Chain A
Amino acid sequence: MNKFILKRIMGLIFLLFGITVVTFIVIHIAPGKPTDLEAQFNPKVSMEARERISHLYGLDKPLAIQYIEWLKRVVRLDFGISFMDSRPVMQKILERIPITLTIELISIVLILLIGIPIGVISAVKEGSFYDKFMTVFVFIGFAAPTFWLSLILMDFIGVRWGLLPISGIKSLEFEKFGFLEKAIDISKHLVLPVLVSAFGGLAGISRYMRSSMLNVLKQDYIRTARAKGLTEKEVLYKHALKNALLPVVTILGLSVPGLIGGSVIFESIFSIPGMGRLFYESVMARDYPVIMGVLVIGAILTLLGNLLADISYAAVDPRIKLE
């Protein structure tokens, strides 16, 4: 078991290395340069000045040299300094990561709490009105674009009815609040982003759960459970559900990249100062160190998610041993 994990982590390190090579190249061949804002768009800046700025950022060196220099720093956990505000990249990411992770964690829990029962009951009542209704419901969530749904919710719930704040995670007068008020204030701000993020993910889990459950209900051991004289509840929610949940564990681990990707969109719309918005801003400004920093952290989270999926699968399924 430990040997397996060690081997996997070694493999993941190589994978991570490959990911950084590809992303580094892709980001640098994308049109636009970090110096554009200061130089290209400003006619007063002379040729020499432009070159000086390029040289300052190290952008005049060949790409391979730039990558090796970047890598040398990264292995020492130094992601460099942001081109935009000259603050350390690590610091910028660390202050934003908790916000994104909190929202993602809450929405994952919501997705599981709502999606699993929807899927299980759909399977148990296959073909019923409930089943069909839920199919349509979750696919609306799946098909509706995040930005559109966010704007509609902001317009109605936030602007017209004034029920919830629509932007940021704190009110202006936040610092004056007591502890309880602070908590309530943040929760209020998080309702819409979490809802939007969870609604889109509902389809995946609930449909997966439904087909997994349907598949299990056809198995011979379900017939055995009935033949043993167990109650229908025991048959469905003990014998069937435990088997049907196994593959969902894997899906959870694999859903990390989707959630990180999704955060870019709704954090920008709701002006939430999280990793997603940081990424968006840094891409717009071609702030290479920050882009690479966020991508590396995202890649690490994704790979850890995969590893966790493997380990937890072995933990819940007695038939699988990690060797």
Chain B
Amino acid sequence: MLLQIKNLKVDYGNIEVVRGVDLYINKGECVGIIGESGCGKTTVGLSITKLIPERKGNISSGEILLEDRDILKLDPEELRKIRGKKISYVFQEPFSSLNPVFTIYEQIKEVLEDKKDTNSQIVELFKSVGLEKIIGKKNIYPHELSGGMQQRAMIAMAIASNPSLVVLDEPTTALDVTIQHQILDLIAELKNRMNLSILFISHDLRIVFSIADKIGIMYAGKIVEYGPKEKISSNPAHPYTIGLIDSIPSFEHRKKLFNAIGGRAPLFSDLPKGCKFYPRCRFRIDKCLEKEPELELVSDNHVSRCIRIAYIVSV
């Protein structure tokens, strides 16, 4: 097991936004997390190397084991050596994530461990992420690249030191659709070639289905369903997942309205009691209000946080 996240809880001030998340990533595996904006998925990603701004957020409990070493217990210097080397990140907005006043070359050079012959290393990286166009152009700044090329540069930075895990936090959300496709192809290719382990965070179900091996669906700070992607797509066992899959627009039904999930995600400061999805659920019964359900086994490797699994799976 490469990475194990156990019972992770994070709060911002007094408001808990990650309320106990467990997640496991094997070597060479891509795990996707899906959820609406503000469900805590980005916070989970940032927590892995304690990147949450110190004054704002606080990891209140849990363990994050990277190859059996608890990252949360490391001192800042040890943590720093893991960041960018063993665990690297690609963020949502490539433009604002690159420093505007340093050249692309400089910014990539900073992550290279071997400071000798950095140029040829950068050339190799550019080749592997499809940035052949700017090879040798040392004076090029981020704003001179298109959004897709900026994201390729971010990816080059993320894979520069052969990391064990890459956290991709909505890497394609800020890009237009054709570029999205190219970036996803690149990620899939790198994953196979370098045997990368990936945590892929997104709100776009179709993207995650296309790239992930396992999928976790997050709602209101907890994982509500988790399993291999085939099982999640063919046999969803949580009402929220069913709602998400139904809301994907399809070509056959293009004249119909989208099947959106009614209502809106609850505020963390005002969570409903019992099952957090109760107010929006179409399978709800009174028993759901009694307490928040635990994750229960649907089949092998497939769990769901719902007390009506048997009924849901049968319909």
Choose the segment among B91-99, B116-124, B208-216, B268-276 that binds chain A (4+ C-beta atoms closer than 8 Å): B91-99
Which residues of chain B come closer than 8 Å to A231, judged between CB atoms? 80
**B110 in contact with A224 (CB, 8 Å):** no
A219 to B93, alpha carbons, bound, how many Å? 11
Residues of chain A in range 189-220 having any CB-CB distance to chain B below 8 Å: 219-220
A243 adjacent to chain B (CB < 8 Å): yes
Q: Identify which of B81, B91, B96, B102 contacts A239 (C-beta below 8 A).
A: B102
* A220-B93 in contact (CB<8A): yes
Chain A, 265-321, CB within 8 A of any chain B CB:
316-319
In the complex formed, the residue of A with least CB distance to B111 is: A228
B91 and A224 within 8 A (CB): yes
Cβ of B101: which chain A residues have Cβ within 8 Å of it?
Answer: 242-243, 246, 316-318
For chain B, which range describes its interface: under 10, 10 to 19, 20 to 34, or 35 or more residues?
Answer: 20 to 34
Instruction: List CB contacts (< 8 Å) of A232-248 with chain B.
Output: 232, 234, 239, 242-243, 246
Query: Which B38-79 residues have a C-beta within 8 angstroms of A?
Result: 49, 51, 76
Any B CB within 8 A of the CB of A229? yes
Q: Which one of B51, B101, B143 has the greatest number of beta carbons of chain A within 10 Å?
A: B101
Contact assessment for A224 and B89 in the assembled complex, using a CB-CB cutoff below 8 Å: yes
Interface presence of B305 (CB below 8 A)? no
Cα A246 to Cα B101 with chains together (Å): 10
Our pick among B83, B91, B143 for the contact of A220 (Cβ within 8 Å) is B91
Assembled-state Cα–Cα distance A230/B107 (Å): 11
- Chain A residues with CB under 8 Å of B141's CB are 318-319
Could you say which of B49, B76, B100, B157 contacts A318, with CB atoms under 8 Å apart? B100
Say if the beta carbon of A52 comes within 8 Å of chain B.
no
User: Is the beta-carbon distance between B157 and A220 smaller than 8 angstroms?
Assistant: no
Cβ-based interface call for A223 (8 A):
yes
B84 interfacial contact with A, CB 8 Å: yes
User: Considering the chains assembled together, what is the distance between the CA atoms of A202 and B110 in angstroms?
Assistant: 35
* Neighbouring A residues of B288 by C-beta, 8 Å: none
- With contacts A220-B91, A242-B101 taken as known, whether A226 is within 8 angstroms of B96 at the C-beta atoms is no
Question: Any chain B CB within 8 A of the CB of A225?
Answer: yes
With a cutoff of 8 Å between Cβ atoms, the chain A residues found around residue B49 in the complex are: 227
Are A220 and B97 neighbours in the complex by a CB distance under 8 Å? yes
Q: Given A229-B81, A229-B82, A239-B102, do A221 and B96 touch, yes or no (CB 8 Å)?
A: yes
Q: Which residues of A contact B111 (CB under 8 A)?
A: 228-229
Give bound CA distance, A318 to B76, whole Å: 33
State the Cβ distance, A185 to closest chain B Cβ, in Å. Answer: 44
Interface residues of A, dominant DSSP: helix
- Identity of the chain B residue whose Cβ is nearest the Cβ of A127 in the assembled complex: B55
Residue of A nearest to B81 (CB): A229
Whether B143 pairs with A223 at a CB distance below 8 angstroms is no
Chain B binding surface SS class: loop
Given contacts A228-B111, A229-B84, contact A319 B143 (CB under 8 A): yes
- On chain B, the residues within 8 Å of A246 by CB distance are 101
With beta carbons under 8 angstroms apart, the residue of B51, B98, B154, B157 that contacts A226 is B51
Collect the chain A residues with CB atoms within 8 Å of residue B99's CB.
Answer: 221, 224-225, 239, 243
For A230, what are the chain B residues with a Cβ–Cβ distance below 8 Å?
80, 84, 110
Contact B97–A221 (Cβ < 8 Å) = yes
The residue from B98, B103, B143 contacting A224, defined by CB atoms under 8 A apart: B98
Chain A nearest Cβ from B310, distance in angstroms: 43
* Residues of chain B in range 179-208 having any CB-CB distance to chain A below 8 Å: none
B85 contacts A by Cβ under 8 Å: yes
Which residues on A sit within 8 Å (CB–CB) of B143? 318-319
Pick from B88, B93, B98, B103: contact of A227, CB under 8 Å: B88
Taking CB atoms and an 8 Å cut-off, the chain B residues in 144-196 that contact chain A are 154, 157
Q: CA A234 – CA B84 in complex, angstroms?
A: 14
A314 to B: closest C-beta gap in Å:
13
Q: Are A221 and B98 neighbours in the complex by a CB distance under 8 Å?
A: yes
**Residues of the B chain whose Cβ atoms lie less than 8 Å from the Cβ of A318:** 100-101, 103, 141, 143
B51 touches A228 (CB 8 A): no
What residues on B are CB-neighbors of A234 within 8 Å? Answer: 110
Chain A residues with Cβ below 8 Å from B80 are 229-231
CA distance A223 to B111 in the complex (A): 14
User: For the complex, what is the distance from the CA of A48 to the CA of B49, rounded to whole Å?
Assistant: 91
Contact indicator B83/A227 (Cβ below 8 Å): yes
Q: Are B83 and A319 in contact (CB under 8 A)?
A: no
CA–CA, A319 and B76, complex, Å:
34
Q: Please measure, in the bound complex, the distance between the C-alpha atom of A250 and the C-alpha atom of B100, giving whole angstroms.
A: 18
Residues of A within 8 A of B97 (CB): 220-221, 223-224
CB distance from B179 to the nearest CB of A (A): 19
- In the complex the two chains form, is A227's CB within 8 Å of B84's CB? yes
Q: Report the minimal beta-carbon distance from A20 to chain B, rounded to whole angstroms.
A: 40
Q: How far is the CB of A42 from chain B (nearest CB, A)?
A: 66
Chain B residues with Cβ under 8 A from A319's Cβ? 100, 141, 143
Interface contact A228-B96, CB-CB below 8 Å: no
Chain A proximity of B151: nearest CB distance (Å): 12
7 pairs of A and B residues whose beta carbons are closest in the complex: A229-B84, A229-B83, A228-B84, A220-B96, A221-B99, A227-B89, A318-B141
Q: Which residues of B contact A (CB under 8 A)?
A: 49, 51, 76, 80-85, 88-89, 91, 93, 96-103, 110-111, 141, 143, 154, 157
The contact sample of 27 A-B pairs, CB cut-off 8 A, is A219-B96, A221-B96, A221-B98, A221-B99, A221-B100, A224-B91, A224-B98, A226-B51, A226-B83, A227-B84, A227-B89, A228-B88, A228-B111, A229-B80, A230-B80, A230-B110, A232-B76, A234-B110, A239-B99, A243-B100, A246-B101, A316-B101, A317-B101, A318-B103, A318-B141, A319-B100, A319-B143
* Chain A positions near chain B (C-beta within 8 angstroms): 219-221, 223-232, 234, 239, 242-243, 246, 316-319
Contacts A221-B99, A319-B141 supplied; 9 other A-B pairs, CB < 8 Å: A221-B98, A224-B97, A224-B154, A227-B89, A228-B111, A229-B111, A243-B100, A318-B101, A318-B141
